[in-house]
Structures are given as structure tokens and as C-alpha cells.
Amino acid sequence: MINNDPNHIHQYDANGKMICCSLEEKVYLKANADNLIHSNNRHADESDHLHVHSSDEDTRKVYIPATISFIFLSAGLLFDYFIKPVFFQAYFRIAWYVFAYLPVGIPVMKDAIKSIAAGALFSEFFLMSIATLGAFFIGEYAEGVTVMLFYAVGELFQTAAVNRAKKSIKALLDMRPDTVNILRNGSIQTVSPAQVQIGETLQVMPGEKVALDGELISASASFNTAALTGESKPDTKNKGEMVLAGMINLNSVSDIIVTTLFKDSKLSKILEMVQEATSRKSQTQLFITKFARIYTPIVVLLALCICLLPYFFVSDYVFSNWLYRSLVFLVISCPCALVISIPLGYFGGIGLASRNGILFKGSNYLDIMTKIDTVVMDKTGTLTKGVFKVQDAVSAGIEQNELLKLTAALESKSTHPIAKAISLHVGDAFKNVSVSNVEEISGYGLKGTIDGKEVLAGNLKLFKKYNIDYNKIIENITETIVVVAVNNKYAGYITIADEIKEDASQTIKDLHSIHIKTVILSGDKQSVVDKIAKKLGIDTAYGDLLPEHKVEKVQALKNENRTIAFVGDGVNDAPVVALADAGIAMGGLGSDATIETADIVIQNDQPSKIVTAIKIGILTRKIVWQNIALALSVKVMVLILGAIGTATLWEAVFADVGVALLAILNAVRIQRVKF
């Protein structure tokens, strides 16, 4: 396995087993282990890949040794302080505690040796090994076992927390069926999804998952889209509509023409995004990683000074006493709480978002969403449904039916929602029309040759570009219109109506409630954009924009030192999505280009998820900084007590493992939140 993230430096032993150089690396691996296994089993032979053990295996391995140690430690403490049997003395007592120590101590010491061999001397394995062996050296056997046992219990909690954090993300990996039914040569054949070609007919039975993106050719069918969108309400698709991989067929046998290869389906792209998300660290994680690398060697040096320097300044110096203080200092110094709880907090945030139909491509974007002060949105497909219907057609110089036929024939070559609405409205009347030399003019419309006639269809900017005269009265029409020219002469217009999404108004109210400015950037007419903005209460609205004009508007806002999230769904939105501090794509109706460019993908196209994404970012950051404050404050306090000889190893255990457990439990809270 190759990891291109420079912040994850992995080492391997002679047998190919990965050595974790830090606890943060171990958390990262546990959170991604199942993803790696799943991907490897699907796409390559196991022998060609690193074998990474699953979190469940790790849990079982730690559980049994920890139980054995706990039983023997409890019995030892009972013998020492309550029963006090005669036989529990001298070498027998030492052997008892050694036996209690070995099940949890040996694995840690092995990891310490491997980390040292890999060049990572100051790992938590090394610190725990030195501290507990030192405790045995000065006769504090029970305390030595307790420290190592608590560390093992911390591992159990860590594994359980990681498993919970990635549970909703891991569920995505089960959405792709291993086999599909394809209609070939008049019969149904069962094959791997990866073997299916574009244009083949996929047959999906009731209750089955759709494996590939395609166009429904059955009359209609209902699908459960919860895995993709988070919505439990069934979605009914009609003939000609798109069906996406990951949907579950609910009520009838459905035939689907495959339009996308398995590896290129929206679901496959979503899985890639999720698998890559945890490798993109937030600034907080990067800071803590660097902090731990500097902090740990310093406290080891200080522990050594605490043990040895008093010899030169204290008249009644007793080596065992000062060694004990230094061991306390070492145990406290281990940065477990920081390097465990912070990645867990971000894993939890990403998991919570995925359960709400939002995909963050990295934990760094969770942080960015907390700083957003301006949300810039496209109109069509973002604030409106993008489901257009033809309202009227007004011709000039040609018959209305001819106007509709020519326009539909040209628009049939485009995937734009308006183009689809016109084609659907006209039906089959244009099917036998010859269309050639079609050119899509980004931000303007379409140009093509139909039965020897040059036809233009688009917005008024298209007419101005080609200097075509038209009736100026149509500029006062507030609805969306498509103007048409035949052989450079105005031929009429078609009015189109779109519908505002149900949650758009509440979204704007919620954004304003958290003091975020809202802006619309649209290629539609200014009058249409103004009407939408007024209805929704949006602060600023710009219409009649080409893609490059949208980029200019966003850049102007950035020049005002505003932190911007741009939300869009079309191909034309991709440049602006890339420019924004946080690019958000509407994943259901959105284009592949925009989804790939975006930092965050909203899978169900609901604008209200913008607010949810911001709230999840704020919640995640709040819990992460709570953990940082908790860990550092407790550690500093107990470090001071340990240095002056007041704190014992019991307090040290709480300051290290106890605080780590509290931080983990705090991080787990993220996953229980409901929006």
C-alpha cells in the first residue's frame, strides 16, 4: 500500500507488517482498515496487498489479555490489602504480578522495539514500557501492572470509539453488489459489475441494490435512496430518468440501460471520496502531531533530570524515591489523550455528516466550515429544483409547432435541465429531424444545423453575441425564457418555470441566524434572480452572469477578506467551486465535474444541508478543543504534582489513561447528535 500523505509515514517489518510510529497513525489505520480490506478483496489478489487486521480482530486480541491481567491484578490487590495470606510474599508475590503484567505488557514492549527500529524512539509504547518496568524495579508491582492494564483498556475504548465513528461510513462499502443480472443474447446472465459495458441492460429485482448508474427503461419504479441521500422517503422514477448505484429497488422488476462504467459511477466516486477523507488532516491535527513530536522528547529529558539532578543538590538523596517521581512524570507525559481523541473527533464529525447525506472530503473542511461568513449559491438546482416545465411558446414568423420542434431537436443534444424540459414537452415530434454541427456555447445556449437551417436557442446574451434583432418587449418578461433564432432571424421564445425547493427559505433564515451573508450568482435573467432573492430573503443577487463572471464575483468577495462557501451543481459551477474556500456540490443532480472539484458533497440536493454541514463543523471543532483543554490542563497540573513528589502512579494513570478515556467518550458524543 502506498500512502502519499506526508503526515502518515508508515514503516514495515521484514514480514510486511506495518509498524505504527505513533498512536495517531494507529488510530488512522484502525479507522481505514476495513476500507482497505474491502478494496483489496474486490480489486486485487490478497497476496499483492498488505494484510491489515480489522478493528474487530484488534478488539478480540486485546480483550483476552486485558481480562487475564485484570483478574490476576485484582486477586493480587486482594491478597496484599485484605486477605494477606502467608504464601503471598517474596518471590511468589513478584511472580504473581509479573504474570499479571505479561499479557498486556509484552505486546506493548514489542511495539516499542519495532518503533525504535523504525526510528521513532519516543513513542507511547516506549514511555509505557519504561515507566512500568521502572515501577517493578523499585518494587511498585501493583502500580506497574495497573498502568499497563489501564493502557490496554484504553486501547479497547479507542477501538470501540473508532468502530462507532466509522460505522456509517463503512456502511457505504456494502452498497455495491458483488454480482448483477445483465440481459445478453436474449437471456439473463449473472456477472461482476466491473464486467458490464455502457449500453447493456441491467435487470434489478425487487429488494436488490442497483450496482451501476443508468437510465430507467421500465415504465416506472420506486427506489429507496436512503444510503445515498439519507432520505427514507421512496423516490419514484419514471421511464427515461436516471437511477444511481446504491439505490434499492422496492416494488417491481426494473430494466435499466447502463450509462456509466462501474468504476465511474457516482457511488464509486463517493466511496473514493470517503476513503481519502481521513487522510486529509485538519490544521488542528497537524498541529497536535507536530506538538507531540516536540513535547514527548522534552518531557523524557525532564524526567531524566528529575531522577538524576537532585543527587547534586539534595543532601538526603534516595535514588528510588526520585526514580519513582520521574516514572510518574513519564506516565503523565504520554500524549495519548491528544493523539487519540483529536482524530477520533474528526472521524466522528465525518461519520455524522455522512449519516446526514453530507460527504466531507477531509477533516480540514470541517474546520473551514466553522469560519464561513458568506454562502454564495447558484440558483438552478441549488435553490430551485431544476425541474423545469414549459409554460408557453410564442412564435414570430414561423408556426408555433415548428418553433417547438426545432428548439426541442436542438435542445435534445444538451443535458441542461431546461433543455430536457423542452424535449420532454415536445415529445417525439422532433425524433426524425436531422441535427448536426451542434455547438454548446457555455453560458449562452446552443447552436446547430437542423434540416439545413442554422438554429440558435438560449438566453438573450446569445442574441447579443450574434447581433440578432429581437422584440425588446421580451426583456421585461420575468420568467425564464429560451429565445430562438432561425438563420439569424428572431423566431420566438419559450417560457420556462422552475420551482423553489421546499427547504430553501428556511435555509436562508438559518444562515442569517448565524450571521452568514447570502449571495446568488446565476446565469439566468436578473429579473428572475431578483424575484427569487426577494422571495427567499437573500442579501445580494447577481444575474445574467457567464461562468467567468461568477469567478470574478467570488474573487471580489474574497478580496474583501470574506471566507466563502460556494454551492453549485452544474458544469459551469466547477471553476467557482474550486475558487471558494469551501466548494459544495449538490450531488444528486450535480455534474460529475462539480462533484469531483467540490470539497463537500450534499447527496440529496437539499440546501438545508449547508446549515447542517456548518453546524457539524462547529460541533466537531468545539469537542476537539474541549479535549485539548482537558488533556493539557490535567496533565500540567499532575506533572507539577509529580515533580514535587505529591502525585503517585495512581494519579499518573488517571492523568494519562483516565483523561484519554474521558476525551474518547467526549469525542463519541459527536456520533449521538441528531439534526
Order of strands, sheet of 517-521, starting from the edge strand that comes earlier in the sequence: 358-360, 600-602, 582-586, 564-568, 374-377, 517-521, 540-542
Please indicate, yes or no, whether residues 326 and 397 belong to a single structural domain of this protein. no
Is a pLDDT exceeding 70 seen at residue 5? no
Q: CA-based diameter of the chain, in Å?
A: 114
Q: Is residue 37 part of a domain?
A: yes
Same domain, 208 and 321: no
State pLDDT tens for residues 369-409: 999 999 999 887 789 887 778 888 999 989 999 999 999 99
**CATH number for the domain harbouring residue 401:** 3.40.1110.10
Residue at 358 is within a domain: no
Q: How far is CA 209 from CA 191, 267, 342, in A?
A: 15, 12, 36
Q: What is the pLDDT of residues 35-73, one digit of tens each?
A: 332 333 333 332 233 233 344 554 455 588 989 999 999
Please provide the average confidence, as pLDDT, over all residues in the chain.
79
For range 419-437, the mean pLDDT:
84
Residue 378 appears among annotated catalytic residues: yes
**C-beta separation of 381 from 635 below 8 A:** no
For the whole prediction, is pTM greater than 0.95?
no
Asked if 457 and 435 count as a contact pair (C-beta separation under 8 A), the reply is no
Most confident segment among 289-298, 350-359, 642-651: 350-359
Instruction: Assess whether 103 and 245 both reside in one domain.
Output: no
* pLDDT tens, residue by residue, 253-292: 899 999 988 877 766 665 565 555 445 555 665 666 667 6
Is there a single domain that holds both residue 254 and residue 302?
no
Summarize pLDDT for 570-585 with one digit per residue, the tens: 656 777 888 899 989 8
**Model pLDDT for residues 445-493, shown as the tens digit of each residue:** 999 999 889 999 999 989 988 999 998 888 888 788 899 999 999 999 9
Q: Where among 442, 468, 497 does a domain terminate?
A: 497
Phi-psi region of 411 (alpha: psi -120 to 50; beta: other; left: phi over 0): alpha
Q: Which residue has the higher pLDDT, 20 or 655?
A: 655
Domain end (from 245, 274, 303): 274
On whether residue 364 sits in a domain, the answer given is: no
Q: How far is CA 463 from CA 459, 471, 472, 478, 488, in A?
A: 7, 11, 12, 18, 9
* pLDDT attached to residue 87: 92
Domain check: are 99 and 85 in the same one? Answer: yes
In a domain, 427, yes or no: yes
41 and 155 share a domain?
A: yes
Q: Rounded mean pLDDT of 21-34?
A: 40
Q: Which of 58, 213, 235, 378 is catalytic?
A: 378
CB 24, CB 336: distance < 8 Å: no
pLDDT on residue 286: 62
pLDDT of residue 177: 72
Q: What is the pLDDT of residues 497-537, one digit of tens each?
A: 788 889 999 999 999 999 999 999 988 778 888 989 999 99
Same domain? For 281 and 414 the reply is: no
Q: Are residues 641 and 652 in the same domain?
A: yes
Tell me, what's the pLDDT at 613?
Answer: 95
Task: Please indicate, yes or no, if residue 101 is contained in any of the structural domains.
Answer: yes
Co-location of 285 and 148 in the same domain: yes
Residue 230: give the domain boundaries.
180-274
Q: Which of 547, 546, 541, 553 is nearest to 574 (CA)?
A: 547
Task: Look at residue 566 and tell me whether its pLDDT is greater than 90.
Answer: yes
Highest mean pLDDT among 134-143, 220-229, 529-538: 529-538
For residue 227, is it within any domain?
yes
pLDDT at 419: 86
294 falls within a domain: yes
Output the CA–CA distances (angstroms, integers) from residue 430 to 411, 458, 625, in the order listed.
Answer: 10, 18, 62
| Domain match, 152 and 280 both | yes
Residues 6+ apart with CB under 8 A from 319: 307, 311
Quick one: which of 435, 383, 419, 443 has its CA closest to 568?
A: 383
Nearest Cα neighbor of 542 from 532, 551, 529 is 529
> Has residue 619 got a pLDDT over 50?
yes
Average pLDDT (604-622) is 93
Does the pLDDT value for residue 660 go beyond 90? no
Here the CATH number for the domain that contains residue 223 is: 2.70.150.10
Q: Are residues 28 and 122 in the same domain?
A: yes
Q: In the predicted model, is pLDDT for residue 363 greater than 50?
A: yes
**What is the C-alpha to C-alpha distance for residues 162 and 168, in angstroms, rounded to an integer?**
11
Instruction: Tell me, yes or no, whether 31 and 158 share the same domain.
Output: yes
Domain boundary residue, one of 250, 274, 298: 274
Average pLDDT over every residue of 359-373: 89
The pLDDT of residue 35 is: 36
Q: Answer whether residue 634 is part of any domain.
A: yes
Domain count, the chain: 3
How do strand 582-586 and strand 600-602 relate by DSSP bridges? parallel
